[in-house]
Chains A and B, each alone.
Chain A
Amino acid sequence: MHGQPNERNLRGLESLFRLPTVEADLEWQPRASTSARNREPVPNSDVDKTGASRLSEADRRYLAAVVASPGQPSASYARIAQMGTGKATRTRKSLVERGFLREHVVATGRRGRNAIVIEPLAAAHDALGPRSEEA
C-alpha cells in the first residue's frame, strides 16, 4: 500500500508544499493537564495534611468534645460543644465524611432508638494537635 511514491501521489502533495512554513518554538514545554485524573498532588504544609486548616470553629469544638470523651452517644456532644442539635448533626456528618470521625450504631438504652456512638479517628487527634492528647 505504501510503496514507491508515484506521480499521482506527488501531485496531491504539491498543495501541501505550498503551505507557509512556521518555525517551531524550540523552548516549548508540554502544558500540564488540567483534568482531575492527571493532576499532580499539590504539595501541602503540615497543617493541610492534618486537615486542621479546613476545620471551622464549630468543627473544632465538636472534634475537641469527641476527643475529650470518646464513645458517647452523638446527642451528648451537642451539649458539650455548646451548639444546637441541628448544627451538631450537620457538623458530625461533615466530619464523618471528611474522615475525622466514625459512627457506630449501638443500643445503649433498654428500649427506643439505637444511639450513634462516635469514635474519633487518628485524623481528629492530628487536627487538634498535641494539646488534645494531653487532655
Chain B
Amino acid sequence: MRKAFLHERVLLDPIESELLRRGFRASREYAVTINRQIVGFIDLYAVQGVHRVACEAELTPRRAANDVMKGSAVGASLLLIITPTGRIAARIDEDLRRAGYGCELRVCVLPLGRALGLIRDCFPLIPDAFRDPESSRESQP
C-alpha cells in the first residue's frame, strides 16, 4: 500500500502526464520479453517516433541493476530512474557507475523534480540529445 502510493501516484503519475503532454504514447507495466518469454516489467514505457523512454521508479538502490538490464532488453534509448530524494538517486548512480552499467544505454538517475525538469527542458531538443556521436560528426561540415 505504502509502496503503491509513493511509487505509482507520487513518482510515476506526474512523469506519465508530462510525457503524454509531449506527444508520447505511454504504457504502464510494459512487459519485457526475451525469446518470447516475459522476463520482467518496466514501470512506464513511453514511445514517440524513434524515442523510446523507459521509466523506473525506485525507492531503494537494490533493483537498479535490474532496471538497466530491462531497459537494454526492451531497446530503450533512455532509461529514466526516478527516485523520491536526491540521496537515493546518488546512491543508485554510484552503484551503477561502480558496476559499469550505462555504457550503451543512456541512464539518468534523478529525483522526481529534476526528472520532470529533464523531460520539460530536453525533450524538445531530444533529436540532438539522442543523436549518435558518429552521425553528428557526419553532419558537421
Contact = CB atoms under 8 A, between A and B. Distances in A.
B10 A110 contact: no
A41 interface: no
Interface string A98-130: 000010111111110010010100000000000
Interface residues of B, number: 15
Given A107-B111, A109-B113, A117 B85 contact: no
Interface of A: 70-71, 102, 104-111, 114, 117, 119
A110 B9 contact: no
A117 B111 CA distance: 14
Q: Which of A106, A107, A111, A117 has the most CB of B within 10 A?
A: A107
B113 A117 contact: no
B85 A71 contact: no
Interface of B: 2, 5-6, 9-11, 13, 84-86, 111-114, 117
A105 B85 contact: yes
Contacts of A108: 112-113
Contact of A110 (B5, B13, B114): B114
12 contacts: A70-B9, A71-B9, A102-B5, A104-B6, A106-B84, A106-B112, A107-B85, A107-B112, A108-B112, A110-B117, A119-B2, A119-B5
Highest count of chain B CB atoms <10 Å: which of A70, A108, A110: A110
A71 B13 CA distance: 10
- A contacts with B: majority SS: loop
A93 to B, nearest CB: 19
A107 B9 contact: no
Contacts of A109: 113
B119 to A, nearest CB: 12
Contacts of A119: 2, 5-6
B10 A71 contact: yes
Q: Which 4 A-B pairs have the closest CB atoms?
A: A107-B111, A109-B113, A106-B84, A119-B5
A107 B2 CA distance: 17
Nearest to B117: A110
A107 B114 contact: yes
A116 B92 CA distance: 22
Contacts of A106: 6, 10-11, 84-85, 111-112
Contacts of A110: 113-114, 117
B2 A117 contact: no
A117 B14 CA distance: 14
Nearest to A111: B113
Contact of B84 (A70, A102, A104): A104
B135 to A, nearest CB: 31
